[in-house]
């Protein structure tokens, strides 16, 4: 088991608990058993992209963010909110926001 897998698993556990779901409940939503959820949460199994996509729907988060072991749950929620808002804007507004972010990052 890698450190990355363990971190991702801990994050999945935290997200599951925030939704007040048991391992069995989450397994039912994903179409798998609670043992598989346990293995993911303890880092004994690697979270695959397909499962991350399903979890993204359940937790209302961008699935790619779930696969980054260095992001906290709070950071994932913030980034997901930003992505959701950006997705609703026309391209010229997104470009403006990107320019503003680049300016902020350079200071």
Residue 1 has pLDDT above 90, yes or no: no
Please say whether the beta carbons of 9 and 40 come within 8 A: yes
Please say whether the beta carbons of 30 and 2 come within 8 A: no
CA distances from 28 to 16, 18, 23, 68, 98 (A): 13, 17, 9, 24, 40
The model's pLDDT over 58-91, given as tens digits with 9 standing for 90+, comes to 998 988 898 998 999 899 989 988 988 999 999 9
The model's pLDDT over 42-58, given as tens digits with 9 standing for 90+, comes to 999 998 899 999 999 99
């Amino acid at each position: 088991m890698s450190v990355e897998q363990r971190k991702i698993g801990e994050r999945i556990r935290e997200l599951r608990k925030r939704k007040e779901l048991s391992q069995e409940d989450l397994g039912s939503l994903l179409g798998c058993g609670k043992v598989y959820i346990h293995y993911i949460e303890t880092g004994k199994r690697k979270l695959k992209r397909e499962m991350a996509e399903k979890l993204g729907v359940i937790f209302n988060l961008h699935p790619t963010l779930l696969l980054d072991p260095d992001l906290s749950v709070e950071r994932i929620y913030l980034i997901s909110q930003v992505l959701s808002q950006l997705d609703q804007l026309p391209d010229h507004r997104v470009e403006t926001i990107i320019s503003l972010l680049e300016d902020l990052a350079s200071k």
